[in-house]
């Protein structure tokens, strides 16, 4: 946001995802002005596994609400984190994804 670094912007947005809500890689990329950089967003989130890096990456799923990054959290870690926030997860997919989906552009509406 405040910086021109794509990665930094991704982290900024992810940290602002409301509790109990989820968003997609594409939505973040679009908010950053590069709609087609969705792959880079996921690539950036790869940093979230670094110690001391507090990032709710478990709230970021793909366009279909699938926990595509589940493998990077290790086992059912991502699923548990989501369910802990009241988000139902079935078969690696977010139930009611359409309702729980949070668009980064809502930041402007705040």
Partner DNA sequence: GTGGTGACGACAC
Partner DNA sequence: GGTGTCGCCACCA
Residues of this chain that interact with DNA (CB under 7 A) are: 5-7, 24-27, 34, 36-43, 45-46, 48-49, 57-58, 60, 62-64, 68-69, 71-73, 78, 91
Decide if 59 contacts 84 (C-beta within 8 A).
no
Q: Nearer to DNA by C-beta: 46 or 86?
A: 46
Residue 24 CB, shortest distance to DNA, in Å, is 4
Q: Nearer to DNA by C-beta: 98 or 110?
A: 98
Two tokens at 21? 């809500």
Residue 54 CB, shortest distance to DNA, in Å, is 12
Alpha helix segments (H runs only) across 5-102:
6-15, 25-31, 38-45, 70-73, 77-84, 97-100
Angle at which helices 38-45 and 6-15 cross, to 10°: 80
SS3 104: coil
Residue 5 CB, shortest distance to DNA, in Å, is 6
Q: How many CB atoms lie within 10 A of CB 33?
A: 9
Residue 28 CB, shortest distance to DNA, in Å, is 9
């Amino acid at each position: 946001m405040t910086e021109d670094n794509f990665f930094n912007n991704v982290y900024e947005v992810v940290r602002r995802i409301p509790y109990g809500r989820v968003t997609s890689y594409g939505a973040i990329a679009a908010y950053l002005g590069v709609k087609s950089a969705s792959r880079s967003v996921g690539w950036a989130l790869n940093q979230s596994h670094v110690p001391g890096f507090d990032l709710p990456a478990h709230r970021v799923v793909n366009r279909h609400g699938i926990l595509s990054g589940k493998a990077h959290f290790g086992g059912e870690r991502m699923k548990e984190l989501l369910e802990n926030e009241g988000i139902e997860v079935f078969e690696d997919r977010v139930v009611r994804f359409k309702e729980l989906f949070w668009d980064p552009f809502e930041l402007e509406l705040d």
